Structure 1
């Protein structure tokens, strides 16, 4: 066994230990990439996580030349290239040398600085069994081709990284299942205990109104009944948020059911086919939930409109009301936690959110999600 073989085995062991210790995806990939560059002749590298043909995320990069690092690595983040095309066409199954990288060419073309002589890179898919997760790319100055031994080492490391990605995704999936089960348990407990107690208070206060002729006592019982009814509506809304009923029969039925429970008349307009992955469908439902809650609590109206437009590339969700509205000022914090929650959910899926509102002129919220 040669000295190089010993060195490669030691590197593979170090990377394996690092991957086994980490539980957060971005940090794991960043550290693994840095360790790879530290122990090999590769001098720069970057990792794409790839969700579909329209979306890839630059999740890790190290030692990039200035022309690739400038403007937030925009030449790596935008557009297509040979390796992505081969990846999507299932033509990239092992570590390969790439000639004339489009991203590097474009970065060099628009750079006023020397481009550090990086013109080519090698690429290898990150996968576990038949599942593919992304690409690992590496490069070195004045190098247009790596040796078979270099590519074999790169392939071994990519296999380790792919297995670690699969482990983290499975762990997250287990946590999501556990979270859903806990939500269901809390929803059942709230329904069986607090919800029933509030309903009993409502009935008791109603009976109290009928049992007395004292105007002040009647007024007190009426106030108790009103407050309890409001609390009951809040509790039912909370239970819906924990365990959305109706999604099993589709997003539209769930939204109509939730609006009806809140006492809101909902006008729904749809264009395109509503066939979404469960994750996107639940996100749309949760976002619309928050918007409808805001209508009930703040708009001062009992009507709202939801528009859903589906194209081949994205989903547009619009929630409108003709209520009180609010003053939009981008320099201050968002006016409600509900809006912040909608923004968080939207951005977590790579989407955008905006709103148009003014005092006395209602509110329109626009959400666009890639699809």
Structure 2
């Protein structure tokens, strides 16, 4: 018994060191889960994150039997179960043996692949203080219930994981705040220096075109004025991208304000109530910005239409123009940096970006983000 306690203390120490060293969420949890399973009688495990709406997401898993790993862990990803339900209701406070698990039962009943003797699992909430993040589930073949000592060890590692998750969440928040501050500083510098300089050049060129007597000189000044005005518009768009105005009054107002700044007429249609997390709101705004930039630069029109549809789980944004459109070979990499940027932003938020375009028939940009 004493030897086993020493072994557990050593294991918890190793896990604590791993959790403290990692700076990224998924590798940290994957490594800790792998080390925990290797040092205990538990053989398989998985971690769910559960948001405030109760929606669960499979974050990491280790040593799953084929039945549970089948089709990208479909049986773990979908449906309901006792542990998630109790977590949502705030009734799951400590490590607990599961009497039954609908996810495992569904995978077994499907008779698609071997379940490896896994029929039940234990569960424990991942939390730090009053803040809850999700669940750690573990199981072993032909095991219906685990001992009190095993459950106590499971609680200890869950406490460590919860503290580490909180640390990374706070670190990410600090990094995002620092990034916003740096964007604001850069936007102020651009506005106070380059933007003002371009404005001065525009005024000088306008004055030169009025004062000049020779036609060629007048045309030169007018061309300088035109080019400088274009550069000024580009600079203002860049400043908006760094420090968006209007988002404090909502996503729609922010997008409409950006379109107006570009000289575009934007018709907006909204279905549902918009109440989004700030991270999702900014992602949608950034993608919409890039879409509006493309309309201004490439579509050859000054009008566009925006459709926003809000569902209980997803946000759908469609930006449509009746411009010249484009044609792209689906077998080659996305040629536009702007299009690739939109796709990367959406994927980083767990969503998707697609577009439908045809020569002389306009373009539709379709953005879907979960929240």
Distance 2:248 2:110 in 1: 51
Counterpart position of 1:223: 223
1:283-302 residue pairs with structure 2 within 5 A?
A: 283-302=283-302
Distance 2:277 2:37 in 1: 37
Counterpart position of 1:31: 31
Q: CA deviation at 1:370?
A: 2.2
Secondary structure of the structure 2 residue equivalent to 1:79: coil
Counterpart position of 2:341: 341
Preserved CA contact (<8 Å) 2:45 2:61: yes
Counterpart position of 1:63: 63
Preserved CA contact (<8 Å) 2:54 2:88: no
Preserved CA contact (<8 Å) 2:314 2:369: yes
Counterpart position of 2:86: 86
Counterpart position of 2:258: 258
1:157-306 residue pairs with structure 2 within 5 A?
A: 157-306=157-306
Preserved CA contact (<8 Å) 2:206 2:222: yes
Preserved CA contact (<8 Å) 2:264 2:296: yes
Q: CA deviation at 1:282?
A: 1.6
What is the RMSD computed on CA atoms of the aligned residues?
Answer: 1.4
Distance 2:111 2:234 in 1: 57
Distance 1:67 1:203 in 2: 71
**Which ranges in structure 1 are unaligned for 5 or more consecutive residues?**
none
Preserved CA contact (<8 Å) 1:46 1:137: yes
Distance 1:68 1:330 in 2: 34
Secondary structure of the structure 1 residue equivalent to 2:306: strand
Preserved CA contact (<8 Å) 1:353 1:365: yes
Of stretches 109-118 and 136-145 in structure 1, the one that deviates more from structure 2 is 109-118
Preserved CA contact (<8 Å) 1:75 1:107: yes
Secondary structure of the structure 1 residue equivalent to 2:57: strand
Preserved CA contact (<8 Å) 1:328 1:356: no
Distance 2:342 2:111 in 1: 39
**Which ranges in structure 2 are unaligned for 5 or more consecutive residues?**
none
TM-score (normalizing by structure 1): 0.96
Q: Deviations over 1:61-105 (max 9, x none)?
A: 111111112222222222222211111111111100012211111
Is the alpha carbon distance of 1:63 and 1:306 closer, same or farther for their aligned partners in structure 2, counting shifts above 3 Å? Answer: same
Q: CA deviation at 1:175?
A: 0.4
Secondary structure of the structure 2 residue equivalent to 1:220: helix
1:11-26 residue pairs with structure 2 within 5 A?
A: 11-26=11-26
Counterpart position of 2:48: 48
Preserved CA contact (<8 Å) 2:70 2:113: no
Is the alpha carbon distance of 1:322 and 1:48 closer, same or farther for their aligned partners in structure 2, counting shifts above 3 Å? Answer: same
Counterpart position of 1:111: 111
Secondary structure of the structure 2 residue equivalent to 1:119: coil
Distance 2:56 2:353 in 1: 20
Preserved CA contact (<8 Å) 1:328 1:358: no
Q: CA deviation at 1:350?
A: 2.2
Q: Deviations over 1:205-238 (max 9, x none)?
A: 1111112111111111111111111000000000
Q: CA deviation at 1:202?
A: 0.7
